[in-house]
Chain A
Amino acid sequence: MDEIRERYQKVFEDVFGPAAGTPHSEFVFGENGWDSVVHMSLITELEDEFGIMFDTDDILHYGSYQNGLRLLEKYEIR
């Protein structure tokens, strides 16, 4: 999981950029510049990185850094 976590963190850092500060477990949708446009970029990058395709409900209810990690497990990224 450490390796997965590192890759996950890297995607967040790439998408949010340095202006948002270092992404961390308290990051939630609606803060730190995490709007719908950034969200779709994040989803695309995560899908690319982990070779998955989120279903629409998971995209809509992603919500937070922590929940995203839980979702990866749903797609058998462990």
Chain B
Amino acid sequence: MGSLLEGKICLVTGASRGIGKAIAELFAAEGAVVYANSRGGRKAGPDGSGEAGSPGEAAFTEEDRIRPVYFDCADEEAARRAVFSIYREHGRIDVLVNNAGIVYNEPIGMISMKHVEEMLRVNVYGTINMLQLTSRLMMRGRAGGSIINISSVTGIYGNPGQSAYSSTKGAVISLTKSAAKELGPMRIRVNAIAPGLTLAGEAYKTDPAKIKERIGNIRLGRAAEPEDIAKACLFLASDLSGFVSGQIIAADGCTVM
């Protein structure tokens, strides 16, 4: 256990499984108090898949320094109450990781507009909502904070079959750059991590042959584990990146797309 985030108050969205869960675990191991958000209507399966259920299953306990918080990031009122409750308890929020997101991979001609709307709601609207609410609280303490948005390499390069999804992740990149410029004077850093192929969540449902083909495009010769993405987030959350803002860091093993 390290101490890179000793005493920091962190909020990680979409933290019940996959990348979000790995981020919450690593941050806690580095000394942070981590509020691990999920919508509460899903519980994690062993392969990273989710299934309907209520209430959501807490992935962690308070003794582990990870505290589950259940709300929908795109629900303005629920999110406001949740972040303000954390702020009231600690007097600050130091780090926000906007990880909650959903993906539908559909080729042009088969793009479901219902799915587009769903992705925009969670990936873009929810991310903006959380950034807005949390940055307002970060401003109050004058100590600033770090906001980390999870984008995707598809948002940088584009990818066949992911036009709609990549659009939402491209929006996250634009948001990151603009917000960094606007919030910099308040000492709030805003950066994004753009994961490449990561063995979590939807990747488990993908045809193994396709996974192998995609790994062939990664110069480091393997797909990312959720922990690889979490480590990149740790850098941006910690004081090691104290002079880094407005950056999009691809954690993709040098992917050639």
On whether the beta carbons of B139 and A53 are closer than 8 Å, the reply is no
Number of interface residues of B (CB under 8 A): 12
A14 at interface, CB cutoff 8 A: no
- The reply to whether B136 and A44 form a contact with Cβ atoms under 8 Å apart is yes
CA distance A44 to B137 in the complex (A): 8
In the complex, A35 has a CB within 8 A of chain B = no
CB distance from A57 to the nearest CB of B (A): 8
Provide the bound-state CA to CA distance between A44 and B132, in Å. Answer: 13
Q: Tell whether, in the assembled complex, residue B76 and residue A48 are in contact, meaning their CB atoms are under 8 Å apart.
A: no
A3 within 8 A of B: no
A6 to B139, CA, bound (A): 25
- A56 / chain B contacts, CB cutoff of 8 Å: 76, 80, 132
Interface flag for A73 (CB, 8 Å)? no
A55 touches B87 (CB 8 A): no
Q: Given that A53-B84, A53-B87, A56-B132 are known contacts, is A44 also in contact with B140, CB under 8 Å in the complex? A: yes
Q: Tell me which residues from 29 to 78 in chain A have a Cβ below 8 Å from any Cβ of chain B.
A: 43-44, 47-48, 51, 53, 55-56
Q: How far is the CA of A55 from the CA of B84 in the complex (A)?
A: 11
The answer, yes or no, to whether B213 is at the interface (CB within 8 Å) is no
Cβ-based interface call for B77 (8 A): yes
A43 and chain B: residue at smallest CB distance:
B136
Determine whether the beta carbon of B76 is less than 8 Å from that of A55: yes
The prevalent SS among residues of B at the interface is: helix
CA distance A48 to B139 in the complex (A): 11
Which residues in A have their C-beta under 8 angstroms from that of B88?
Answer: 51
Q: How far is the CB of A24 from chain B (nearest CB, A)?
A: 27
Q: What residue of chain A has the Cβ atom nearest to residue B80's Cβ?
A: A55
Chain B 72-102 interface mask (CB, 8 Å, partner A; 1/0): 0000110010011001100000000000000
A56 to B182, CA, bound (A): 18
The residue in chain A whose Cβ has the minimal distance to the Cβ of B137 is A53
Nearest CB on B from A51, distance (A): 8
Residues of A within 8 A of B136 (CB): 43-44, 47, 53
Q: Is the Cβ of A47 less than 8 Å from the Cβ of B140?
A: yes
B139 touching A44, Cβ below 8 Å: yes
Assembly CA distance A78 to B221 (angstroms): 63
Could you list 20 A-B pairs, sorted by A, with CB under 8 Å? Answer: A43-B136, A44-B136, A44-B139, A44-B140, A47-B136, A47-B140, A48-B140, A51-B88, A53-B80, A53-B83, A53-B84, A53-B87, A53-B136, A53-B137, A55-B76, A55-B77, A55-B80, A56-B76, A56-B80, A56-B132
Give A contacts to B, CB under 8 Å. Answer: 43-44, 47-48, 51, 53, 55-56
